[in-house]
């Protein structure tokens, strides 16, 4: 299997090229990264691109979808619950579907939380493309447009992604690759959800509301990501660390 990427300098979002072999078949996963280097590699490797697979509808993951649709006539695909949010999908996907592209067998996993229709793509049971659900050392937030709940995100992480074999390679929607095993052992959020680390209790304000800070850890963009519990209703959220006020 061939896996290559480009990354947006501004968004730090990845476009992944996944092919079964040189002169074989390929898919594109997310399109926020620069398209021309990917198109050049497709030409160099003489690949037939069959699908564009979107993890979710946010602009930093779909900005260049039309480049691939126009070049190859391939469908742009995403979760059925985000059909109207995308606005220009060609094919709806749901859990239980399978995409076959040459020797690539791709299973969409519905992993809501960051968005209602967030998909991860498990390729040949070897590699998983996790969009904005799981990053190296961090996790997705639950405040972006189209989000659902922390409870959904927790199930997506712990019951779906962390249930994959530990050797499964992880290719996130932003920045660096990792493995399920590495995140199981090293990701501060996963370790806390496993009960290996105790949540904190610092009094803060988040989004101008009183809350407790359960965990703050480095995020992929050089900032931090925070897990908080709001005083009102005990609601849990994963938010940018920049929205925390201390003192």
Q: Supply the pLDDT for residue 178.
A: 98
For 60, the token pair is: 């930093």
The pLDDT tens digits of the residues spanning 122-133 come to 999 999 999 999
The pLDDT tens digits of the residues spanning 206-226 come to 999 999 999 999 999 999 999
Q: Name 2's Cβ contacts closer than 8 Å, sequence gap at least 6.
A: 17, 18, 19, 20, 21, 22, 26, 45
pLDDT above 90 for 247: no
Cα–Cα distances in Å, from 65 out to 28, 50, 136, 165, 184?
9, 13, 25, 31, 32
Are 226 and 236 in contact, with CB atoms under 8 Å apart? no
**pLDDT above 70 coverage of the chain, percent:** 100
By C-alpha distance, which of 129, 120, 123 is closest to 153?
A: 120
The pLDDT tens digits of the residues spanning 76-117 come to 999 999 999 999 899 999 999 999 999 999 999 999 999 999
**pLDDT above 90 coverage of the chain, percent:** 99
Are 75 and 86 in contact, with CB atoms under 8 Å apart? no
Q: Which residue shows structure tokens 């990354």?
A: 7
Are 23 and 89 in contact, with CB atoms under 8 Å apart? no
The pLDDT tens digits of the residues spanning 164-220 come to 999 999 999 999 999 999 999 999 999 999 999 999 999 999 999 999 999 999 999
């Amino acid at each position: 299997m061939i896996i290559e990427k480009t990354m947006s300098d501004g968004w730090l979002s990845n476009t992944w090229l996944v092919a079964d072999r040189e002169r074989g078949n390929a898919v594109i996963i997310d399109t926020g990264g620069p398209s021309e280097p990917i198109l050049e590699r497709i030409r160099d490797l003489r690949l037939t691109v069959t699908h564009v697979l979107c993890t979710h509808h946010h602009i930093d993951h779909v900005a260049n979808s039309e480049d691939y649709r126009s070049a190859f006539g391939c469908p742009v695909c995403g979760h059925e619950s985000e059909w109207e949010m995308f606005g220009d999908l060609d094919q709806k996907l749901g859990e239980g579907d399978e995409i076959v592209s040459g020797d690539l067998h791709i299973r969409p996993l519905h992993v809501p939380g960051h968005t209602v229709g967030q998909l991860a793509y498990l390729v040949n049971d070897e590699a998983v493309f996790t969009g904005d659900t799981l990053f190296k050392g961090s996790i997705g937030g639950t405040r972006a447009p189209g989000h659902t709940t922390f409870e959904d995100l927790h199930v997506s992480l712990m019951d779906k992604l962390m249930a994959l074999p530990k050797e499964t390679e992880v290719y996130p929607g932003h920045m660096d690759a990792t493995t399920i095993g590495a995140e199981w052992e090293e990701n501060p959020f996963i370790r806390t959800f496993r009960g290996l680390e105790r949540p904190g209790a610092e009094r803060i304000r988040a989004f101008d509301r009183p809350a407790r800070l359960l965990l703050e850890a480095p995020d992929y963009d050089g900032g931090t990501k925070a897990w908080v519990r709001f005083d009102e209703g005990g609601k849990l959220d994963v938010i940018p660390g920049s929205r925390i006020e201390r003192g």
